[in-house]
Structure 1
Amino acid sequence: MLKKTVIKYFGNQLKVAEALELTRGSVSQWGDVIPEKQALRIEKLTKGELKYDPALYTKSA
């Protein structure tokens, strides 16, 4: 799941942090692809409006 997609959905980094009960600093440290655990939580929180994409988290050989 891409950080920019999540921020667009929630409105800003603070709202993302509040929804996930994280600090805004934690959210700001995410790379372009957010941590897998948080992607799974967001999919659940948004009732599937934002989808977890396992392909983003597989390591290429």
Structure 2
Amino acid sequence: MTKKELADYYGSMAAAARALGRTRGAIQQWPDDLPARVQFEIEGRTKGKLKANPGLRNKNTA
């Protein structure tokens, strides 16, 4: 899962931050490919509408 997918789902990074109980600044410090623990938290909060994909980073390094 990427930050772009997160922002697209919630409509903006500000809305995502509010929904996750974090600041925009905190979210902006995350890498573009979100950390696995964050992805699983988001998957739970969205009831599976956004899926965790912790192997995403490895797909792009070929």
Normalised by the length of structure 2, the TM-score is 0.81
Regions of 4+ moved over 3 Å: none
- 8 Å CA contact retained: 2:39, 2:54: no
Report the equivalent of 2:37. 37
Normalised by the length of structure 1, the TM-score is 0.82
Residues 1:21 and 2:25 are matched in the alignment: no
| Number of corresponding residues | 59
Deviation at 1:56, TM superposition (A): 2.4
- 8 Å CA contact retained: 1:36, 1:57: no
Which structure 1 residue ranges, 5 or more long, are not aligned? none
